Amino acid sequence: MPRVLVRRPSPRLADGELTHLDRVAVDPDLAARQWAGYVDVFRSRGWEVLEVDPADDQPDGVFVEDAIIVFGDLALLCRAGAESRRGEAVTVRVAAAAAGLPLSTITAPGTLDGGDVLKVGRTVFVGASSRTNADGIAQLRAVVEPAGWEVVEIPVSRVLHLKSGVTALPDGTVIGFAPLVDDPALFPEFLAVPEEHGTAVVVLDERTVLMSSDAPRTRDLLHDRGLEVVTVDVSEFEKLEGCVTCLSVRLRE
């Protein structure tokens, strides 16, 4: 059974970090309902949901993907590029141990956010962004290349994280909203999508993806490619530069 790590939103969600967006009002009650609907998608598809302990003092803690990256049966605990987010790792470390994942750790002066890491087959695209530095990328490479992964560095200047601009379909095609992607030619296969919030998909299985309900034209595009598309409203998280990928870490058997 596939498993997924999630963490419920902090009551301080609206105080989360912002880099590329202006701050607008966030409704914490609506965010809590949206998060519950997101998690229900996994449960309805047969995933086991593993909740990381709440971290109410960490406004961005719900974006659990940034704290840990899983490569098969190996997990890498990240060191956040934003100093305010480094407290998130404490409870994520505990959750990884409870899930039975061997754990490596990014150490200072390296920084690495999980949102900067996109896995396609055995290739690891890693964003060189404002949150992930060269030392963090070097440490990532040292951990995963001996296990048979190829690491490819990608410049990221137009969005917060690599996966704010691109994600991948089940067949490995990288998708993104072209104005947000520094250089689409760096990906072997790239499909431009028509909406900013259509850049992010979570692969649920070989023919099903989860995405934001705020990208209906992208939904239709993916449906026409033969995919089943499940949509959820994540508007309150999108206001904070989040997306559907940020809210979970998928552990596949």
pLDDT digits (tens, 9 = 90+) for 160-179: 999 999 999 999 999 999 99
Q: Outline where the chain has alpha helix (H).
A: 28-44, 89-98, 134-144, 162-165, 216-224, 235-238
Indicate whether 80 pLDDT > 70. yes
Indicate whether 235 pLDDT > 90. yes
Looking at residue 18, what is its pLDDT? 85
3-state secondary structure of 30: helix
Mean pLDDT of the chain: 96
Specify the number of domains making up the chain: 1
The percentage of the chain sitting over the pLDDT mark of 70, rounded to a whole number, equals 100
Residue 116: band (very low, low, confident or very high) from pLDDT cuts 50, 70, 90: very high
User: CATH number, domain at 77?
Assistant: 3.75.10.10
> pTM above the 0.75 mark?
yes
- Apex 146 CA angle, 65 and 166, nearest 5: 35
Nearest CA to 69 out of 108, 20, 126 is that of 126
The catalytic site residues sit at: 161, 246
Q: Which residues are annotated as a binding site for substrate?
A: 18, 60, 65-66, 85, 131, 240
Looking at residue 107, what is its pLDDT? 98
- 125 residue type, one letter: F
Residue 253: band (very low, low, confident or very high) from pLDDT cuts 50, 70, 90: low
State both tokens at 196: 């900013």
Contact 195, 231 (CB under 8 A): no
State both tokens at 243: 């997306």
Q: Which residues are annotated as a binding site?
A: 18, 60, 65-66, 85, 131, 240
Q: What is the mean pLDDT of residues 9-36?
A: 94
Half-sphere exposure of 143 (CA within 13 A, CB side): 24
Looking at residue 73, what is its pLDDT? 86
Q: Which domain holds residue 124?
A: 3-251
DSSP string, 186-222: GSSSEEE-SSGGGS-EEEEETTEEEEETT-HHHHHHH
Q: What is the mean pLDDT of residues 137-144?
A: 98
